[in-house]
Structures are given as structure tokens and as C-alpha cells.
Structure 1
Amino acid sequence: MTFPELAMSEIYQARLARVVAYIHDHLDDELDLNRLADVACLSPYHWHRIYHGFYGETAAATVRRLRLHRAANELVRGSGAIDTIAERAGYSSVQAFSRAFQASYRMAPGRFRSEGGASMFVSLDSSDSIRSGGMAMHQVEIRSQGPFTVAAMEHRGSYMNIGRAFEMLFHWLATRGLVDPRARSLGIYFDDPAAVAEDELRSMACCELFEPDAVKFEAPVSRVEVAGGEFAVLTHVGPYAQLCFAYQWLYGEWLPKSGRETGDAPVFEVYVNDPRGTAPADLVTEIWVQLRAVG
């Protein structure tokens, strides 16, 4: 790619990043394509094609995906009526919401609320844990990992809303030609949502760097060193809204029976595939918990 081509690509990245940030900040508003064109500073006749070309989904699909992601979290963590959740997600009827949710999550909203979370993580003493499904959900490996460096953007608030920080981080990386397909995307989480108020939760959206010394860091992106060591790694397959149950099982079931203690580093998650092109049921997330050295 020549310099002019790279410069124009960076301009498009910057403009479309503004659109993504606007969508995250106005998720409850009506999707106005002309308004999004204004945010992108692009022609209303062409900007949506450019967006689709860059992100592999339309702006409408982005809004739908983010609203369903929020709805899944509300189903798992809250007790609100399904019709209220459906309306907030932009659907005029529970039936329409149920069809859309079923298509994305392969499970009706009511069933997702009752069966899509805690029931997938049974006690280690239960015979259910030896079934193939149980083994998939209980896949914990002990892995060694050396220290590594990431580019990080801080996020404050609900962990389920860290997606906006990731969008901004990858915009920052893209405009500097630093996106590397080998790099892992990860989130570092400092607080327990059960013990800290939601608006005070601290986290970081991160991307692995292979040549960090060559990067000139500028706010709001910083250089962060991730500690190495031995880790318990739980691989979770399914919607991000179910991760809270994976944590409960990992800390409440596996850890006490493992004979190991946690290290001092915060937990982090590695996102193996991209939610833009992956059904929620197929999302693969690795939860990495540092372990104290034995002996």
C-alpha cells in the first residue's frame, strides 16, 4: 500500500470510528442513516457501503448486535420483564424480539434466562460434569505465559460496555498501521462486579504488541506490561453475557479443589474470535487467572 493509499485508509478509519462511538453512545436512539453520514463526514449515498466494506456488517447490523448483546446481559443479570427488554432492544413485540434473539443466540429469551447461564456450570462433584457438554464448559488448562506488552485503553463502568473502548483502541492502532493479525485482543479486569458499584468498575481494552518499543504512545492509549507466570485458563464457548457464570464456577468450584492459589496479577480475558462475524453461541473466550508459584 502506497503512502497516499495508507493516508486515505486512515482517514476512513477515523471517520468510521466516530460512527461506531456514536452508535455505542446512542444505542437507545432511532438509527438515522443521514445523521450517521454526518458523523462520518461522508456522503449519505456512499458512507454505508464504506462502513460495510470496512467492518463486514452494516451499521444497522451493528446496532442490532449491540442491542441484543445488552438484552442478553439484562436477561441473565436482571429480573426485568421480557417485553420491557424487547422494547429497549428496539422491537415492537416480544414475538419479533424472540425471533431475532433465537436467530442470534440459538435459544429463546425465556430459556436463555432460565437455562443459558448457571445451569451450564455444574458442581465438580456432579455426574453431569463428566458429560461431553460438561467437559466443554469445564475445560481448564494450566499454561505458562511469559510477560508481554499491550496497547491499552482504560474503561470505567459496566464490563459489558467495554466494546466501545475496543473500537477506539483499534481505531488508534489502525491509524498508525499497528494492527497485526497475529495479535491477541484481551480485556484486563481489576474489580469484582459483585463487590464494586457498576459505574466504578475498572478495566482495560488491550491489544498485544510485538514491537512495543517502536510505538509512540499517546493518550488515551498507554503501554501496559502484562505479568507472566503460570495461569489457569478456562475456555468458554458462548455469549459474553454468560461469562459471569464461568467466573463463579472457576473461582467457586475449580479453584478451591485445585490445590492452587491465585497470583497477584488481575484476571484477563482473551477474545479468540470477532463478535462482528461470529454468532454469540460460537464466541470463544479464554479467562486467564494467574496462579501463585508452587513450592
Structure 2
Amino acid sequence: MKAALQNYQDRMRRVLEHIDRHLDADLDLDTLSAVAAFSKFHFHRQFTATFGLSVHRYVQLARMKRASHRLAYRDDESVTDIAMDAGYDAPDAFARAFRQRFGQSPSSFRKSPDWEPWLAAFGPLDNARSKLMQKTFTPDDVTIRDVPPTRVAIMEHRGDPATLPATIQRFIAWRRAANLHPRTSPTFNVWRSERRPASPADYSVDLCAGTDQPIQANGEAIKAGEIPGGRCAVLRVVGHTDNLEPAALYLYRDWLPASGEEARDFPIYCQRLSLFPEVPEHEAVAELFLPLK
């Protein structure tokens, strides 16, 4: 029974991986049931029973997530191109679906996103993925590395994590104006609080861009700082890097006690080596750094 269940879950997991890699392709019932090697007459019910939402809604949400990120963070892309990539034949149809789901038109969202309904809309997608797509780590995934100090420009986010996307949007706009592209200026997040503190007001994270040039604030609250060098335990995460809490928990709860190492007096942080939507979500890469003595 255990082996049969594992096989079943592996086949369902294969479907989600196929969707990740082929968001621009035809993801109809025939295609996805064939990927799972299940009968197309039963597959849609099996998918819904496993993940809590239909195949069609899952695909639609995955495409809409990519579209909304492009609207918020990629102002060089037209709404028409974003609509077509989301699987809509015309911008009007995309606009209707977008407004129905988020309560804003695509152009309004681009100018001033309302992130609260956005977060709520993608709750079912996150819940579906959490059922079978949790990452697991082993000690072999962790390396100890001597890292050099890195001078950074910092935009602080302090307060409710639900408002973090707005800070990210401002950070991206600022670094564009400062000509600090992620390809030449590394991107770091330094977490100074728990991901879910007892009070949302206590949430704290620094958004950082590596640079040794004089900082032009351009009207934003930007300050200079440094990520100190030294020994670090490093854990690389590939794909769906928006929630790095499981990886951080592994380092703290499992790896650190068994390693005999001691944590240094600097918060855990990450470097984002490739970013969604610059790359497909399953190709995003981040490295977590746990500073060691």
C-alpha cells in the first residue's frame, strides 16, 4: 500500500512539474492525464481530490501569478504581451479575468497593486503545491564556505509582511533608476525577524543590492551597509524560492545541532541568484547563508 501511494503521488507530482515547465504550452486534460499516465475520464477528479482545486483552475492561477508579477515588476512588458502569455486571446478577456480575481484592472494593478486580495487569491495555489511539492534537504546539500564581505545598498522593510510586495516593487524601481541591475549587482535579503512573528508589525527584512559605488537615494530611504565576510553554511534552493522558510528551518533545526558548529552573531540571509519573473518560477535559484563562528 505504501509503495502504491508513493507511486500515485509521484505521478501527480510529475503533473505539477510538467505544468511548471510548460506554462506557455497547451495544458489540456488529454496532455496532463497522459503525463500522469491516468485515464483522462478520471484524471480531473483525481487531481481535484489530491490538490483541492481543478486542473483548469490550477493552470489558470499559475499563469495569472506569472502575469501579475510581470505587471508589478516588469514595466518594460506591455499588458497585451502579458495577456497573451497568460493564455488569453485578447487583452479585454485578460482584463475581465484579472479584475474578477484581484478587484483591479491590469493597468491599475501595475500602477498601484493592492496586495491583500492578491495574496488571498493565490492561497489555493500555495496550498495545492504544499501537499506534494515540499522540498527535502540532507547534510550533503549544505556546504561550508568562506565568503568575502559585501558592501550593499539597503532598503529596509519594517512591518506587516503582507505589505512586503510593495516594498519589493519600490526596491526594484529604485535599483533600476540607480542602474544596479541584478546581473551586475547581487541581490540579498537579510532576515532580522521570524517569517511570522507574534505581531506582524515586528516583521523585519533588509532588501539589499551589492555595490561599492556611492549610493544615489533618488527619493527613497536607502542606506549603505555591509554583509560581513566569514564562514557560512550554505544551502542552495532551486525553484519556487518565494518561501525559503523550510530551508531555513532545516539549517537551524536539523543541520546546525548535528554539525557541531555554532552560529555567528549575524542574521541568516540569502542571495537570489536568479529571480522570478526574470526566469520561470521553477528555475529561480537562491542560496541561504547561515553565518558560523
| TM-score, with length taken from structure 2 | 0.56
Q: What SS does the aligned partner of 1:141 have?
A: strand
Secondary structure of the corresponding residue to residue 166 of structure 2 = helix
Q: How many residues align?
A: 197
CA shift at 1:116, angstroms?
Answer: 2.6
Q: Which amino acid aligns with 2:187?
A: S
- Report the AA paired with residue 255 of structure 1: L
Question: Is it true that 1:244 corresponds to 2:261 in the alignment?
Answer: no
1:161/1:33 CA distance change after superposition, 3 Å: closer
Name the % identity: 20
* 8 Å contact from structure 1 (residues 153, 221) kept in 2: yes
Q: In structure 1, what is the equivalent of residue 225 of structure 2?
A: 224
1:23-76 C-alpha deviation (Å, 9 max, x unpaired): xxx997423246468x49xxxxxxxxxxxxxxxxxx9xxx9xx94xx4xxxxxx
Q: Look up the equivalent residue of 1:253 and give its one-letter code.
A: D
Quote the residue 1:127 is aligned against: none
Map residues 59-70 of structure 1 onto 2, 5 A cutoff. 67=118, 70=119
Q: How far apart in 1 are the matches of 2:237 and 2:173?
A: 27
Checking the alignment, whether the CA contact within 8 Å between 1:155 and 1:202 is kept in structure 2 is yes
User: Aligned-residue CA RMSD in angstroms?
Assistant: 3.7
Note closer, same or farther for the CA distance 1:256–1:35 as it changes in structure 2 (3 Å cut). Answer: closer
Residue 192 and residue 177 in structure 1: after superposition, are their counterparts in 2 closer, same or farther (change >3 A)? Answer: closer
The alignment status of 1:287 with 2:288, answered yes or no, reads: yes
Aligned ranges 1:6-45 → 2 under 5 Å:
16=75, 29-33=102-106, 35=108, 39=111
Instruction: Give the secondary structure class of the aligned counterpart of 1:162.
Output: helix
Residues 1:114 and 1:222: Cα distance change in structure 2 (over 3 Å): same
Contact 1:148 1:225 (C-alpha < 8 Å) held by counterparts: yes
For residues 245 and 263 of structure 2, the distance between their equivalents in structure 1, rounded to whole angstroms, comes to 18
Q: Structure 1: which 5+ residue stretches go unaligned?
A: 1-13, 18-25, 41-58, 71-84, 91-96, 122-133
| Cross-structure match for 2:204 | 202
Of 152, 161, 170, the match for 1:150:
152
Change (3 A) 1:199 1:233: same
Distance 1:248 1:257 in 2: 14
2:191 pairs with one of 185, 189, 192? 189
Q: Structure 1 pair 260/33, CA: closer, same or farther in 2 (3 Å)?
A: closer
Distance 1:254 1:15 in 2: 37
1:220 Cα shift? 1.1
| Residue in 2 that maps onto 1:175 | 177
Deviations 1:138-163 (A, max 9, x none): 51111111211111111124557534
- Read off the aligned partner of 1:287 and give its amino acid letter: L
| Structure ranking higher on relative contact order (CA contacts 8 Å, 6+ apart) | 1
Q: Could you tell me which amino acid in structure 1 is paired with residue 132 of structure 2?
A: E
In 2, the alpha carbon distance for the partners of 1:33 and 1:194 equals 30
Aligned-residue offset at 1:266: 1.1
Contact residue 152 and residue 169 of structure 1 kept, 8 A: no
SS at match of 1:174: helix
1:277 equivalent to 2:278? Answer: yes
| DSSP 3-state at the match of 1:256 | helix
One-letter amino acid of the structure 2 residue matched with residue 215 of structure 1: I
